[in-house]
Amino acid sequence: MALVGLNMVSFALIDPTTQQILKGDEGLSADGIYKVDTKDLGSKTANITGLTGSSTKRYGNNVAQMVTYGAAAPQIAWDGLNLDFDTKQKIKGFTPDSKGGWLPADEPAHIAVLIESGSLSGGSIYFGFGNATAVESEANVQTNDDNKQIVDDALTISALDTIAFGHKPFKLYNSADTGFDEPTMLKEVFGGYVAGTGTGTSTGTGD
């Protein structure tokens, strides 16, 4: 099934031990989920690698008889246009000093990520990462010339073991599947999340 476009990327902070979503001041929003939508000018790319571990051929009678694969180690190279500054620092695990500064923590924050794409067959395909960390490894600041030099927001996200996924690092969802249930998906990906009335955090198609 071919993927079509990048509809939405959503983040949440989670407790590193319980992997339950953090809300309010401890999290990224009142209900915990932060959608990268038009207020942030959206996401450009979410390049996912490492969905399958490295392969090893196994030989018998002088020919390859089978291939074994190591554990998956997904990474996401996420690129956004204008992610809210404070939100990005929280996603990385930085802490504010109450003087306008943000300091890197000894350990990165633990986050959950949901990436929504479309499909040629209709509906949405979701990549859920219920436990991950994010880093911003560089900032290539450039002088303006005849054109304004804009540096995108770029995060490298590494997926970890997720309790809700049976200790796997990711889970795929297909909205066209007869058994698909969006609230159940959100509860799994975002550590026990339950939508409140009028929260407006339904993933759906991006703004």
**What is the rounded CA–CA span in Å between residue 51 and residue 39?**
30
**What is the rounded CA–CA span in Å between residue 24 and residue 90?**
12
Note whether 57 and 169 are within 8 A (CB): no
pLDDT in tens, the chain (207 residues): 789 999 999 999 999 999 999 999 999 999 999 999 999 999 999 999 999 888 889 999 889 989 888 888 999 999 999 999 999 999 999 999 999 999 998 889 999 999 999 999 889 999 999 999 999 988 888 888 888 888 889 999 999 999 999 999 999 999 999 999 999 999 999 999 998 643 344 444 444
pLDDT at residue 12 in the model? 98
Cβ-based neighbours of 148, under 8 Å, separated by 6 or more: none
One-letter amino acid of 81 = L
Sequence ranges of the domains in the chain: 3-53+66-189
Give the angle 36-37-43 at the CA atoms, nearest 5°: 60
Q: Find residue 11's DSSP bridge partners.
A: 34, 113
pLDDT at residue 28 in the model? 96
